Structures are given as structure tokens and as C-alpha cells.
Structure 1
Amino acid sequence: MKKAYGKRFIEKSFNAFGRTFKLGGPIPELREGEELVRRTISLCPVCYRLLPAIVFERDEKIWIRKICPEHGEVEEIYWGDAKLFYKALRYEVKAKPIKVVYTEAKAPCPFTCGLCPYHMTYTSLANIVLTNRCDLSCWYCFFYAERVGYVYEPTLEELREMIRSLKKQYPRGGLAVQLTGGEPCLRDDLLDVIKMIREEGIRHIQLNTHGLRFAYAGGDKLITELRRAGVNTIYLSFDGISPAVNHKNHWKIPF
């Protein structure tokens, strides 16, 4: 047992990613003018200790509070509009636990990556990485091949197995995917990939792309071919009409 902030609590530790993390801390208390929404588990933003936390309403906003024995109390806005938060809760789906899992839970969430027994909802939109190649070099991107030092690009048959695994999920198989990267339009067989996914029974295909290929010669033809192959949605970013609008992303021009 460990004493901090006048409260006693059980402290444990676990190993993940080659490090030792701590678990446990004082249970935060409500203060005057605050109404409890729920209790949950959160992380210390400094040491990543797993901590008990409370989610509460105050001043028409939703807040979260946790106390790390080493780094003190942290309070942050959980949702900026309490009315909108409660409205969103009306659409919350209480799903059954996943039965087909692919990862053993060796550490508490979020330190076990992958579809593990902790998951309590099925996949609504599966992200499938077609490649980590990209023809941009955005400073904030950690994923592309130049940064990680190798090329990841699953074959058509490997992608087919991913889709079949997605459809085997219980209690409901996945029916929607987002094709992402890297830049998926760099794959020469992109149209074949999309057609295969349609043949496997996926109803909704979303393509995540920077969109530059559509601006080049033949871009209008590519868009038509993507739609005919089975793409339902093109997922683009729009940061503004000038770099000054989104300084965080464009303090360095990425191309």
C-alpha cells in the first residue's frame, strides 16, 4: 500500500514494450458544483501510469480528472459541450465482446496492441494499409517508408485473407473498410484490390488519399475507374485555402 494525497491505494506494475509501467493511484473526488458522469481508467500524461479517473460535468462542459502520485493532479476538458455529449450518448451501442481475437492480452489496455479479448465492440470501419510508400514527405508523418526504413505492401492474396478475417468477426463481421497508407494510389494494382474487396462481400469501401493524383493529367479518369471498381467514398483532408490557416501542419511546405 502507498499513501498519497491522504488516500491509500494498491500499487502494481507490469511490463510492456520493454518498459515497466505502474498501475494505481488515488481515486479523485468530486468538488462543489460538479456532477459525476462515470468512473473510468486513464493515463498520466508524463509517466503513463494507469490511474483511476472520474468524468464529470461542470460549467456546461464535461471534464476528466486523475491524480498521479508522482506528477500530481491532471484535469482536462473531456467534451467541450455537455449537451452535445449527452446527445451523443443516446447513440452509444452496447455491443457484445469479440470472440475471434488475434492478440493475447499480456498487459492492461492500452498497452496490448491488436484485437485482444479486452475489446467490447466489433469493427465499424476497418483500416487496411495498402502501402507505406508515399510521394510526399510531410514532416509530421511517422509512417511512410522513408521514415521507418522499409516498405510494407501486402500482396493481393494477403489482403484477401485480411478481408476474410474481418468478415469472420463475431458477433458481426466487418462490412466497411478504409484503404489507407502511405498513399494507396501509388499501388499499380489498386483497382484490382478494390474489385477483390467487393468480390469478398464488403459493402462500403473508403479510399484515404492526399488527392494529388486527381489533380494530375488523367485524374478525372482515375476517379471514374475507382468508382466503377467499387469505391464509395474518397477521404480527403482540407486544411484551408492557404498554409497560414493550419500552421501546425504547414510550417514546412511538405511538397
Structure 2
Amino acid sequence: MTTKNRPYLFYELTNSICSKCMKKVEAKVIIENDRVYLSKYCFEHGREKVLISTDVEYYKRCREFIKPSEMPLLWNTPIKYGCPYDCGLCPDHEQHSCLTIVEIIDQCNLKCPICYADSSPEKKLWRSLEEVERMLDAVVRNEGEPDIVQISGGEPTIHPQFFDILRAAKARPIQHLMINTNGIRIAQDREFVKQLAEFTPGLEIYLQFDSFEKSTLQELRGADLRQIRSKAIEHLNEFNISTTLVVTLKKGLNDHEIGEIIQYGLKQRAVRGVTFQPIQAAGRLEDFDPATDRLTLSEVRQQIIDQSDLFQAEDMIPVPCHPDCLAMGYALKLDDQVIPLTRMMDPEILLEGGRNTIVFEQDENIKNRIFELFSTSHSPESSALSLKSLLCCLPLVQVPETINYDNVFRVIIMQFLDPYHFDVRSVKKSCVHIVHPDGRIIPFDTYNMFYRGDLEDRLNDMKAELEGARP
């Protein structure tokens, strides 16, 4: 008797959703031709096979790179229909809010062809200060002392009460505040930037920075923003306001610029790092074909390794709170040198959240400065970085005066799940959340698929079907 093998290795089983009807379906994770795929079957729309990783070994490593889940102080919704229909956060979620997004305005001064929030100049809607304060209070109730709150939109800097909102956020026990912006007002209004500087330290600009090329910016943003970006960086450098460059990546469009953007960021006084975000298939998507334009985290990681003189494979590691969707690499800028730091870390200690043992290969002066960074001899107020504080996707750092946040440079890959590669097992680990106006705290991934605006009407119809199917 002869046997016939399947052309793939069945690695594990999970649940996903059909990208057409958004209903939950069973899904196999399979390894085929040195790639990892999600193979799912919908009884109405048939089989769907989606590439989720081009690096089998890294994918497997992510399964080992986890730590115990950190819970919020309270849960906001009950378990009733199952994930992802009970957001949030429901008691079945496995991670608190590392970063919580508060959207204060739907209006924007751009109409980008790619926008998960579907913002535009025509949407002349914003939330009142009182509404925003209720949303901030919801975050504090859940987190006690939230790690990071990101003020977003739309374009938050055009909100008529923008600085009142910043003051309200600063009055709460939020450890770090971020502003998600396209940079237009920062570029055009120096006095606005000067006023922003009054809220530092503890404030960071999350600056849209997709490309150096006119045609690419036209395709992603609908405008040539090269001069805007340059002027915005000039103003942020002038006042040394901590900044992260945020790159929305489309396959074959701007992924060849990854190394160039990292090198540019390293040369800017105010820039503390670069975050690369592959496009999430949600919101407004013009000229986007998910079959050809999607980038996996592993592809972005390999591009960083191939294009950057700074980071090697051992430098770009999974983030333990959500290893499937977050990867990170850290470096120190000391004098005229940039020193990759992640490779010196013991992953076992990272998972335990303890301090790290570093293998030093640099000269004695650099060795002493890095040692000072990790010294435990400082007071709690000026303590050096613990590994748990440093190696995170979020800019929470406490360092001695001789080495401060200006010396830290991080590269992050932040991939958000969409209907194509959605994995219930993974989304339960999501740590980037959005505050719903009614106070629910919802994972970014599911918010843009099920809970944003009118999308919740469709979700409610699905829930009604689930109710009708119950005995």
C-alpha cells in the first residue's frame, strides 16, 4: 500500500474570520515551501489561503517568546459571543493596554488614499473637552497609571481645544503622552511647536513619515509632503521634542526606503526611533490589492536586516507582550557611535522582566557607559533602565543623568491584524487599544474591523444571527 502526503506541514489550529463575511471560521496554520500560511474555510465563501510569514524559524521563535499576561484593573464587557465579538476589554483578553489611543477628532487636513480611520477634511466632527476627559478617565480606570496614551484622530493638532486636552491628559496619572500627527501644523506653525515643548518631558510626537519620494507620498497621502516633513523635523529638532518617525509600508512602493529612513532618523537630534507599520486592510484603501500589496512582519524584519548597517538578525526580536505582531531592535547613541543593544541581552531575563547580563565587546569607555546604564546603584527616581523598561515597543525610560532618553534609538515593527490574516489566538494578546466614546477599551485590530462607526451595525447583525442559532 502506498501513501500520499499532503504538500504542507500542519503546524497548529486556530480560529480566524472570513475576509468576505467577517464570520468566525476555523483555520490551520501550515508550513509549505519554507513559508507559513493561514488556511481557512468558510462554508459560504470557500477556502482562503493567506501568507503570514516568510521566515519559518522566526515564526516558531515567536511562539516561545512570551511572558505571563498583564491584566487591566477591570474588565469592561462580559464574555457572551466569543472573541472577537465581545470587545472590550472582556475577561478573555490576555493583555492590558500598553498603549491606548484616544481619538479626539474625525476631521483631518489631508485625505490620504490610505487611512484606517477614513478621516478627511469633509468630516467636520470633533469631540468636546468633556467627552475626551471621560475617555481619558476610562483609560485611568482600566490601567491606574496608564503606560502611554496617544492622542489621535483624524488630525489631532487641528482640534480647537487641543492644548486644553493636553493639559487634561497631563493632569491625570499618565506616564507618557504621544501625539499622532501628519506634521502639517508642526511644519507651518513654529509657535505651536514652542507651546508643545512646554509639555515635555513625557511628551512624544508620533510623526507620519512614509517616504522621501514624491510619487510614493502622492500614492499614500495624496500630496507631496516632502517639504512639510523637512520643516516639521527642523522645528522638532530645534525644541528637541522626542519624536518617532512612523512609516506606513506598502509592498513594492516604499519598502526599499527602510534603511534610508533609519539612517535619516539616526542623524536627527529629536528622533528617538522609527516604527514601521505594514498597511492594515481596514478603513479607506485606494489602489490596494491585499493579494499583492500586503507585507508580513517577517518581510519587514528582513528588509531592516538587509538594508540597515545597524541591525542584524539577532537585533530584531519579538516583543513578549504580543510577539506575533510586534518586533523591536534597540541601540544606544553614545558620542559619535551607534551601538546595537538588543544582541547583548539575554532573552530569558527579558521574559522574566528582570535586569540583563550584557556581553561586552566594545572598548572600555563604551563598556563603562553601558554598564552605568544598567547599574542598580541609583535611587528609584533616577534608576537606570531595567530590561523590562528598555526592551518594549513603548518609550518608557528612566535613566541616569549621564545617559538619557536622547541616547536611546529603537526600531519597531508594528503589524495590525486584518480580515486576511486575523488570528483569534493572536488578537487576544493585543496591547494597542482604542478607547470607544462609550468607554469600552477595544484592540486596535478589531476596532477597525468591527467597531468603528457604522461597522458595529454589521457586527450587531452577526450577533443576532448567533443568538438565533443558539438552542
TM-score (ref. length: structure 1): 0.71
After TM superposition, list the pairs within 5 Å mapping 1:8-157 onto structure 2.
Answer: 31-36=6-11, 38-95=12-69, 98=72, 100-141=74-115, 143-144=118-119, 151-155=125-129, 157=130
Following the alignment from structure 1 to structure 2, what is the Cα–Cα distance between the partners of residues 224 and 70? 57
In the alignment, which of 196, 208, 211 is matched to residue 240 of structure 1? 211
Following the alignment from structure 1 to structure 2, what is the Cα–Cα distance between the partners of residues 105 and 114? 9
Partner of 1:158: 131
In the alignment, which of 148, 155, 160 is matched to residue 183 of structure 1? 155
Say if 1:124 and 1:174, in contact at 8 Å, map to a contact too: yes
Q: CA RMSD in A?
A: 3.0
Say if 2:109 and 2:120, in contact at 8 Å, map to a contact too: no
Which sits farther off after the overlay, 158-167 or 177-186? 158-167
Say if 2:18 and 2:24, in contact at 8 Å, map to a contact too: yes
In the alignment, which of 214, 218, 221 is matched to residue 186 of structure 2? 214
Partner of 1:167: 140
Runs of 5+ in structure 1 lacking a partner?
1-29
Following the alignment from structure 1 to structure 2, what is the Cα–Cα distance between the partners of residues 117 and 54? 26
Following the alignment from structure 1 to structure 2, what is the Cα–Cα distance between the partners of residues 199 and 91? 36
Which sits farther off after the overlay, 224-233 or 176-185? 224-233
Q: Which amino acid aligns with 1:67?
A: Y
CA deviation vs aligned residue, 1:148-201 (integer Å, no higher than 9, x gap): 5x613131x43333333222226x752211110111111243233223322212
**Structure-2 change in CA distance of 1:151 and 1:206 (3 Å):** same
Residue 197 of structure 2 aligns to a residue whose secondary structure is: helix
CA deviation after TM superposition for structure 1 residue 147, in Å: 5.3
Say if 1:167 and 1:175, in contact at 8 Å, map to a contact too: no
Q: Which amino acid aligns with 1:215?
A: A
Following the alignment from structure 1 to structure 2, what is the Cα–Cα distance between the partners of residues 95 and 57? 27
Say if 1:98 and 1:169, in contact at 8 Å, map to a contact too: yes
Identify the structure with the greater strand proportion: 1
Following the alignment from structure 1 to structure 2, what is the Cα–Cα distance between the partners of residues 147 and 80? 40
* Count of matched residue positions in the alignment of Structure 1 and Structure 2: 219
CA deviation after TM superposition for structure 1 residue 114, in Å: 3.7
Which sits farther off after the overlay, 44-53 or 106-115? 106-115
Partner of 2:269: none
Runs of 5+ in structure 2 lacking a partner?
226-471
Is 1:228 the counterpart of 2:198? The answer is yes
Say if 2:29 and 2:39, in contact at 8 Å, map to a contact too: yes
Say if 1:98 and 1:120, in contact at 8 Å, map to a contact too: no
Over the matched positions of the two proteins, sequence identity in percent amounts to: 23
TM-score (ref. length: structure 2): 0.41
Following the alignment from structure 2 to structure 1, what is the Cα–Cα distance between the partners of residues 138 and 20? 37
Of structures 1 and 2, the one scoring higher in RCO (CA 8 A, sep 6+) is 2
Residue 169 of structure 1 aligns to a residue whose secondary structure is: helix
Following the alignment from structure 1 to structure 2, what is the Cα–Cα distance between the partners of residues 32 and 101? 44
Identify the structure with the greater helix proportion: 2
